[in-house]
Amino acid sequence: RRVLKEYPDFNIVGEEWSLNPAIVSYWQKGQNNRDGYAPNLPSLMDFPLQSALQKGLTEKENWNEGLIKLYEALAYDFLYPDPNNLVIFPDNHDMSRFYMQVGMDVDLFKLGITYILTTRGIPQIFYGTEILMTHKESNSHGHIRKDFPGGWEGDKVNAFTGKGLLKKEIEVQNFFKKLLNWRKGNPVIHTGKLTHFAPENGVYVFFRYNNDKKVMIVLNKNKEDHHLKLKRFNEMIGGCSKGKDVISETQFNMKDEIIVPALAPLILELQ
């Protein structure tokens, strides 16, 4: 409280490592707790969402498993005074790296990163996530937090220049660059509203929008292309005839249905 009084524009994040949003929300500034405790912490680490992301991508799809975990995690946002000020993350220095959490599956990894960089909240990326860093030796903190490759004489791999990186590591690094540079210039992702639809048939759809722009995000967890009927989303798509995918730059006709590639995300800027 004293820090924020002196520096009112500061944002401070705290950690309550609980998967229960009711417990995490107890500590956020503005919470009207029944015991009278008035927290002053503006932001919390969103551990419930991180857990939901890992389970949502790795569990088989069922009525209560898989992508529904992500949908339900956001459904608890009513508990938070300011869910948009939560710090969201796929992994951190105290847990297995995200690439290993999803079974070292590059496609699932990209789905997860797309979600983190387009949903509500403030994204945090642990160094090395952008080049698929692993810790196959063990789950010890020493191996999880190993040195980032490059920058020292004698390093065989240099992730700053790309020297020695595997093809998939370069691919993911470029994926990050493209998505993050796009995100940087789009306030609709930073502060826009969010509307999402319950996952169906292994596909999760949500929208970010403000008065100036509307973006449709589609996550297809299926191992085959999916024909997505658009009628269900008329309340959000209405008036838009085209959508351009940020990643592939492919143009889509938003009339009746779109074909979503297997195990892939779409980030469609609607027009």
DSSP secondary structure of 21-33: HHHHHTTBTT---
Residues 153 and 75 in one domain: yes
Residues 158 and 114 in one domain: yes
Residues 31 and 116 in one domain: yes
Residues 221 and 106 in one domain: no
The first and second tokens of residue 252, run together, are 């889509």
Residues 160 and 29 in one domain: yes
Residue 37, H or E segment? none
Q: Where a domain ends, among 165, 184, 203?
A: 184
CB 135 within 8 A of CB 98: no
In the chain, the N- to C-terminal Cα span, in Å, equals 44
CB 219 within 8 A of CB 114: yes
C-alpha span between 225 and 124 (Å, rounded) = 30
Q: With the C-alpha atoms ordered 56, 88, 191, 24, is the resulting torsion angle positive or negative?
A: positive
Q: Give the model confidence (pLDDT) of 99-120 as tens digits.
A: 999 999 999 999 999 999 999 9
Q: What is the mean pLDDT of each run of 10 residues along the chain (271 residues)?
A: 94 98 98 97 99 98 97 98 98 97 98 99 98 93 93 92 97 98 98 98 98 98 98 96 97 97 98 96
Q: What is the 3-state secondary structure (H, E, C) of 209-236?
A: ECCCCEEEEEEECCCCCEEEECHHHHHH
Q: Give the model confidence (pLDDT) of 7-57 as tens digits.
A: 999 999 999 999 999 999 999 999 999 999 999 999 999 999 999 999 999
Distance of CA 107 to the CA centre of its chain: 14
Q: HSE on the CB side for 168, CA within 13 Å? A: 10
C-alpha span between 246 and 171 (Å, rounded) = 16
Q: Where a domain ends, among 131, 149, 184?
A: 184
Q: Where a domain ends, among 151, 184, 217?
A: 184
Residues 171 and 107 in one domain: yes
Residues 30 and 64 in one domain: yes
Residues 151 and 193 in one domain: no
Residues 179 and 52 in one domain: yes
Give the CATH number of the domain where residue 63 resides. 3.20.20.80
Residues 36 and 140 in one domain: yes
Residues 173 and 63 in one domain: yes
Distance of CA 70 to the CA centre of its chain: 10
Give the CATH number of the domain where residue 243 resides. 2.60.40.1180
Domain that holds residue 157: 2-184
pTM of the model: 0.96
For residue 253, the SS3 value is: strand
Q: E strands along the chain, which residues?
A: 13-14, 43-44, 87-88, 122-123, 193-200, 203-209, 214-220, 226-229, 242-245, 251-253, 257-260, 264-270
Domain count, the chain: 2
Residues 105 and 219 in one domain: no
